[in-house]
Amino acid sequence: MRRHLCDHPTMRRPRTASSGRSARLAVLAVAFLVGGCGSTTPNGAATGAPSGSPSPTIQLYSPGPSATPEDPAAVYARIEDQVQTIRGLTAASVLDPVVLDAPALEAVLREQFTRDNPPALVAATQRVDRALGLIPADASLQDLELQLLSGQVIGFYDPKTKKMSVKSVSGGLGVIEQITFAHEYDHALQDQHFDLTKLGTDAPDQGDRSLARLSLAEGDATILMSDWAQTALTAVQLLQYLQESNVSSQTATLDKFPAALKAQLLFPYTSGVTFVQGLENKGGWEAVNQAYGQPPDSTEQILHPEKYVAREEPIKVTIPADLATRLGGGWSVDFQDTFGEFGLRTWLQDAGGLDPTVASAAADGWGGDRVVLVSHGDSFAIAMQTVWDTADDATAFAAAAQTTRARLAGSTALIDPGTTNRVTVFVASDSATITRLAAALGLAG
């Protein structure tokens, strides 16, 4: 399933470990943008966003009733000029944002979710997520996604329509709305200069690549937003932002959602920031600009930037084009995707209950993967075919996957790597269906 490129919830960003910019970024509790494009098949584990933090007690200056609000058009124009200066990109066209109240924004999000996520894809993704233990067995993936988006998103830019929408949180054009506009305006500049649709983040069967490329765009805009806020806002406004963005009801809403969904949503605004920081620290904004011409192809490259620099590409794992025919009459192939290093780490951690450090180490030698779902009525089977950098890496993943599959409902199986660098995990409605799928994939025996 696919989401919008750039959505903006009110959530505080943890400090980054990178050098250079990290001290400046840590000054501002930057809002996250978590509703962008990318497969909703969870493709990773959160890199650590604070939740449940106590609200700071801050006494804010409030202008008296005689204060005259500034014309919104003038505010937007000023922010546009400031963002263009900081980012070093000149606008090619004028962007008129639409400010919406909460119900109106939710209606737009629902409409676009329906536009970008066909019912068959939603149903197949839900089946995979349930079977792999990434969401509860009785959960509606669509309901979870819509609740999460409507509860957290406060703005987005749509590269397809070239329109920006901003939710009015304060009842007017307050600090949150201005920060949101700065972030989304950077997305508009990215789109005008690099054409964000070329990133291919809407490919329904390339979730890992989509998440990696989304991380480039969102890391870019999050750093820009932080720089803008620290140069354009007063100390009082920054304190006001901290107070307004730490909304306990939103934190509570987020906390109740499956960890895997939150992880995939947050990845572009944690690991994406670190990745883009590394580019900018070495070559300034021009290095970030150049990355749009050669965007990352995997979350492995985001997590290990040296592999992006070396252009270590994912190993391609293919599913036979005639798989449904091999399975026999009435069988269909309903879903294919690549989970990537981040997605497999999430699966091991959230479905398997493994310690984050253990899960990360087990997924660290990822080379490539392909996940496929086949079905015939109530019978279904999922094959997770993975390839690793070395046989030792494959063995480490297999051990972690054994622990994880033992926690899953239904029938499961695992083809041990032996002396190879390949591991296949099966999850199905019954053991006979696993045998059928393994034979169709040429893995039986």
Residue 445 lies in a domain: no
Global confidence as pTM = 0.85
Same-domain status, 175 and 219: yes
Tokens of 196: 């964000």
Same-domain status, 302 and 358: no
Residue 396 lies in a domain: yes
Same-domain status, 263 and 327: no
Same-domain status, 67 and 147: yes
In which domain, by residue range, is 286 found?
Answer: 6-308
Same-domain status, 270 and 183: yes
Same-domain status, 261 and 394: no
Residue with tokens 């690099």: 194
Quote the CA–CA distance of 128 and 428 in Å, as a whole number.
10
Same-domain status, 26 and 128: yes
Residue range 196-252, pLDDT digits in tens: 999 999 888 999 999 999 999 999 999 999 999 999 998 888 887 777 666 555 666
Instruction: Count structural domains, the chain.
Output: 2
Domain boundary among 248, 277, 308: 308
Same-domain status, 340 and 191: no
* Environment class of 12 (CB within 10 Å of its CB; exposed 0-12, middle 13-18, buried 19+): middle
Quote the CA–CA distance of 85 and 352 in Å, as a whole number.
47
Quote the CA–CA distance of 96 and 99 in Å, as a whole number.
10
* Length of the chain (residues): 445
Same-domain status, 240 and 157: yes
Residue 305 amino acid letter: P
Same-domain status, 36 and 165: yes
Beta bridge partners of 427: 382, 412
Same-domain status, 282 and 428: no
Quote the CA–CA distance of 76 and 379 in Å, as a whole number.
55
162 phi-psi bin (left φ>0, alpha ψ -120 to 50, beta other): left
Residue range 159-194, pLDDT digits in tens: 988 988 888 766 667 888 899 899 999 999 999 999
Residue with tokens 């949101």: 180
Task: Residue 414: name the closest of 350, 349, 348 by CA.
Answer: 348
Residues in CB range of 297: below 8 A, 6 or more apart? 209, 212, 213, 313, 314
Residues in CB range of 251: below 8 A, 6 or more apart? 11, 51, 52, 53
Domain boundary among 280, 308, 336: 308
Same-domain status, 378 and 269: no
Quote the CA–CA distance of 224 and 338 in Å, as a whole number.
30
Q: What is the pLDDT of residue 339?
A: 98
Q: What is the pLDDT of residue 52?
A: 31
Below-50 pLDDT ranges, the chain: 2-68
Q: What is the pLDDT of residue 249?
A: 54
